[in-house]
Chains A and B, each alone.
Chain A
């Protein structure tokens, strides 16, 4: 079943494996895209995935999480995305842009705004990222930025958009009963907490047309207690099933199932928490939040660091099954396709999930960072790649300071081979950057 095409309402993808959203600080600080990003995406297109879900793409300057991710906040960004799409399409691969707003979850905010816009004035509990509740007028502006961004994606000749409604960013901050403390029509009962997301779906339909592929990624279950054992657990699967139904009614073409109230979260991405890599690369975030001293100690103090790592670690197989259970519950409730993420990399596991009807396709991030050609390996008859992803999560923890790639030395013959592989994304640079003779 992996190699059967998947038909969405407005889009057909050649197989059932999509690359999930992964970013990498490959672009310019201001959000201008670079050839490095194109090189990066081509690795996966060549490797045989049916479609690529883009890097985390901000629709608005205030909604960026990290500088050096290409944005889609202005019309002059369109040519970059068009070029990227043309290059990806050469490999019979579709390209879907993930439209994002960080809300208060801003790991390394750019210069423009000292606080993030959110449902609430409370800082995020892990880092203490500063937060400001958005007014209804600001929410209206945000909905328009999403609609405009989707229009740009369509003008760039790309194949669809995904609203990032998962993993702790703006929409989670509204959807979640553990975060949203508003008293107005955007807070309180689930209908109200889902209002912003549904308004954005409608706005995109208005500005990009009803025949343009639109999917929504949600955290089907939030598991706030995994981070803060004393707090509420956040939305349950029953809540998310209702949200999924509303999304279908509002015009979404597919639901993409993830989990976790934040990013990263012990259950997403599942697996190890590499204390050394966290220390090495997350230091840059200390000054972004208010809980810097606590974070410093938690990351760096030998005993505490190890304890944090042990508490954080989860079993990828178990989490994948739980994601599939969530996907199954949503799939039963809606008639649009359901995509599921969560550490997939073996052909049988994917095949089983598809045959059981848990989901219509899987999306993969880490498994593909380790083996860009995973789908080709499946086609050649491999069940698992010879050197599979180990779920060490070093890719994630290195992304802020170093190029995105697989940093598990045990998968390489030597450290030199690893560095060469990571740096290969910079190959094939144009000899001289194109210069605007303005």
Chain B
């Protein structure tokens, strides 16, 4: 049957995962403001482990307070955080599911950083992030070394917590992208200019982590193969070409990677990632929270809220999805990388049909797929594939309301059309709190 290619184990360096569908990185502001984790995050990740995915790639875990993208995500910036992650891993492993922690430094992408992050983000450049105007500070070489050391320390902590591997968040405009991208990196030193120089920071980080964790710990890298910055804002340069990124992938492989995770887009969100609808009302409702994080506030206020600017922006934003289709939108990039490297290639981008996934694997476009939105809509998707369904009865509609609601409300599927009623939707969204604990004193939690 068509799904056979999905249910084959896959070797990611030293790590074996039971089949070819992984949950992609997903946040949700479940945790405490300071980055300490809560049981809500554990319950959230457990949903997907129960639903049958082979592995979970965690929410982006900041390696340092200054690299925080959004407050209320569990961090991995101090040793104190290790016991929390150990508990996450223990609970996820109960479902025969592997756990890979995504390590992030967001650089100048600072949607809602906490107080502890100083007023600007560190970056390859001192130009602000173009869409929202998040302010940036150009890193000097010493700061680059410090951040590499922060990644190394975080990887060591992740390993101590018993996770099955780490993935570096090098896509979607995070700090690594800011160095890799020709549309962002404007440095004149050995970390800017040629592709080789732009890749230096990422390659050095991979080498340093490998030296710390040794050969028997899975290490992956998520990369935006094409930045398509001109699809975000038409007056920008597009950024890295396919050829440049393929070359970068080869260098990363040589530096000691176990897998590559293919994505696109030099910022987040981006019209191609996640591709699909631009839910105007939800953008309006959550954009206000971001206003004070950036400097492009009035332009965006008008662009998101005022007719006909909002209509025009929506048309512009949805164009790539219309043109290229949504499910498997990144397969051409994955194929190009797969042909050039020897390590497994994972790819993200709207997957939710078993035959599409199996076809991509059989054609050799990729070795596995990672899924975010369709698993929010159907956490049981893989179990459904195993039962022979090609698609979930109520598939993800790519409405992107999950994304444009999570800053102010719990992460979940907010497409009312997928539910019997709004009440049912709210119940489903809030179900993640059903197991919320009493305070530790009440149930006598073990202090690990």
Residues of A within 8 A of B (CB): 28-30, 32-36, 38, 67, 79-80, 82-84, 86-87, 108, 110-112, 279-281, 283-287, 292-293, 296, 300, 401-403, 419, 422-423, 426, 429-436, 438
Known: A79-B438, A401-B112. Is A28-B40 also a contact (CB below 8 A)?
A: yes
Instruction: Note all chain A residues with C-beta closer than 8 A to B437.
Output: 433-436
The 25 listed contacts between A and B (C-beta, < 8 Å) are A28-B436, A29-B409, A29-B410, A29-B433, A32-B433, A32-B436, A110-B409, A111-B409, A111-B429, A283-B290, A284-B288, A284-B289, A287-B285, A287-B287, A402-B71, A426-B32, A431-B84, A433-B42, A434-B39, A434-B439, A434-B440, A434-B443, A434-B444, A436-B435, A436-B437
Instruction: Note all chain A residues with C-beta closer than 8 A to B443.
Output: 434, 436
Contact check, A429 vs B32: say whether CB atoms are below 8 A apart: yes
Q: How long is the Cα–Cα vector from A286 to B289 in the complex, in angstroms?
A: 8
Q: Of B38, B83, B442, which is within 8 A of A28 by CB?
A: B38
Q: Of A32, A82, A423, which is within 8 A of B116 by CB?
A: A423
Instruction: Note all chain A residues with C-beta closer than 8 A to B438.
Output: 79-80, 83, 434
Q: How long is the Cα–Cα vector from A284 to B410 in the complex, in angstroms?
A: 16
Q: Of B32, B80, B305, B444, which is within 8 A of A34 by CB?
A: B32
Known: A36-B32, A279-B292. Is A431-B116 also a contact (CB below 8 A)?
A: no
Given A286-B291, A431-B448, 19 other A-B residues pairs in contact with their CB atoms under 8 A: A28-B40, A35-B440, A79-B438, A80-B438, A83-B439, A84-B439, A283-B292, A287-B285, A401-B112, A402-B114, A419-B116, A426-B32, A426-B34, A432-B87, A432-B445, A434-B39, A434-B442, A436-B39, A436-B437
Contact check, A281 vs B292: say whether CB atoms are below 8 A apart: yes
Q: Of A80, A292, A293, A438, which is within 8 A of B439 by CB?
A: A80
Instruction: Note all chain B residues with C-beta closer than 8 A to A111.
Output: 409, 426, 429-430
B190 close to A (CB within 8 Å): no
Contact check, A112 vs B426: say whether CB atoms are below 8 A apart: yes
B67 close to A (CB within 8 Å): no
Contact check, A280 vs B426: say whether CB atoms are below 8 A apart: no
Contact check, A280 vs B292: say whether CB atoms are below 8 A apart: yes
Closest to B119 in A: A415
Instruction: Note all chain A residues with C-beta closer than 8 A to B115.
Output: 402-403, 419, 422-423
Q: Of B289, B435, B447, which is within 8 A of A438 by CB?
A: B435
Contact check, B114 vs A433: say whether CB atoms are below 8 A apart: no
B91 close to A (CB within 8 Å): yes
A398 to chain B, nearest CB (A): 8
Contact check, A423 vs B34: say whether CB atoms are below 8 A apart: yes
A273 to chain B, nearest CB (A): 16
Q: How long is the Cα–Cα vector from A296 to B430 in the complex, in angstroms?
A: 31
A423 to chain B, nearest CB (A): 6
Known: A83-B441, A429-B32. Is A300-B297 also a contact (CB below 8 A)?
A: yes
Instruction: Note all chain B residues with C-beta closer than 8 A to A87.
Output: 441
Q: How long is the Cα–Cα vector from A402 to B439 in the complex, in angstroms?
A: 22
Instruction: Note all chain B residues with C-beta closer than 8 A to A431.
Output: 80, 83-84, 447-448
A294 to chain B, nearest CB (A): 13
Interface size for chain B: under 10, 10 to 19, 20 to 34, or 35 or more residues?
35 or more
Instruction: Note all chain B residues with C-beta closer than 8 A to A284.
Output: 288-289, 408
B443 to chain A, nearest CB (A): 5
Instruction: Note all chain A residues with C-beta closer than 8 A to B39.
Output: 433-436
Q: How long is the Cα–Cα vector from A81 to B36 in the complex, in angstroms?
A: 22
Contact check, A79 vs B447: say whether CB atoms are below 8 A apart: no
A93 to chain B, nearest CB (A): 17
Contact residues of B between 404 and 448, Cβ < 8 Å to A: 408-410, 426, 429-430, 433-448
B313 close to A (CB within 8 Å): no
> Interface digits, B221-239 against A, CB 8 Å rule (1 contact, 0 not)?
0000000000000000000
Instruction: Note all chain A residues with C-beta closer than 8 A to B38.
Output: 28, 34, 433
| Residue of B439, B443, B446 contacting most chain A CB atoms (<10 Å) | B439
A414 to chain B, nearest CB (A): 12
A395 to chain B, nearest CB (A): 13
10 interchain residue pairs of minimum CB distance? A434-B445, A286-B288, A430-B440, A283-B291, A434-B437, A426-B34, A32-B436, A30-B433, A433-B39, A284-B289
Closest to A77 in B: B438
Instruction: Note all chain B residues with C-beta closer than 8 A to A84.
Output: 439
Contact check, A34 vs B446: say whether CB atoms are below 8 A apart: no
Contact check, A430 vs B91: say whether CB atoms are below 8 A apart: no
Q: How long is the Cα–Cα vector from A34 to B34 in the complex, in angstroms?
A: 14
B345 to chain A, nearest CB (A): 36
Contact check, A296 vs B33: say whether CB atoms are below 8 A apart: no
Closest to B298 in A: A300
Contact residues of B between 5 and 40, Cβ < 8 Å to A: 32-34, 36-40
A81 to chain B, nearest CB (A): 10
B435 to chain A, nearest CB (A): 5
B315 close to A (CB within 8 Å): no
Q: How long is the Cα–Cα vector from A279 to B290 in the complex, in angstroms?
A: 11
A162 to chain B, nearest CB (A): 23
Instruction: Note all chain B residues with C-beta closer than 8 A to A83.
Output: 438-439, 441-442
Q: How long is the Cα–Cα vector from A173 to B298 in the complex, in angstroms?
A: 34
A176 to chain B, nearest CB (A): 28
Instruction: Note all chain A residues with C-beta closer than 8 A to B288.
Output: 283-287, 292
| Residue of B32, B42, B434 contacting most chain A CB atoms (<10 Å) | B32
Instruction: Note all chain B residues with C-beta closer than 8 A to A300.
Output: 297-298
| Residue of B86, B284, B288, B430 contacting most chain A CB atoms (<10 Å) | B288
Q: How long is the Cα–Cα vector from A434 to B36 in the complex, in angstroms?
A: 13
Q: How long is the Cα–Cα vector from A293 to B305 in the complex, in angstroms?
A: 10
Q: How long is the Cα–Cα vector from A287 to B286 in the complex, in angstroms?
A: 8
Q: How long is the Cα–Cα vector from A68 to B34 in the complex, in angstroms?
A: 15
Q: How long is the Cα–Cα vector from A321 to B266 in the complex, in angstroms?
A: 58
Closest to B286 in A: A287
Closest to A424 in B: B34
Known: A283-B291, A426-B33, A432-B83. Is A30-B441 also a contact (CB below 8 A)?
A: no
> Interface digits, B68-110 against A, CB 8 Å rule (1 contact, 0 not)?
0001000000001001101100010000000000000000000
Q: How long is the Cα–Cα vector from A429 to B445 in the complex, in angstroms?
A: 12
Q: How long is the Cα–Cα vector from A431 to B446 in the complex, in angstroms?
A: 8
Instruction: Note all chain B residues with C-beta closer than 8 A to A287.
Output: 284-288
Instruction: Note all chain B residues with C-beta closer than 8 A to A86.
Output: 441
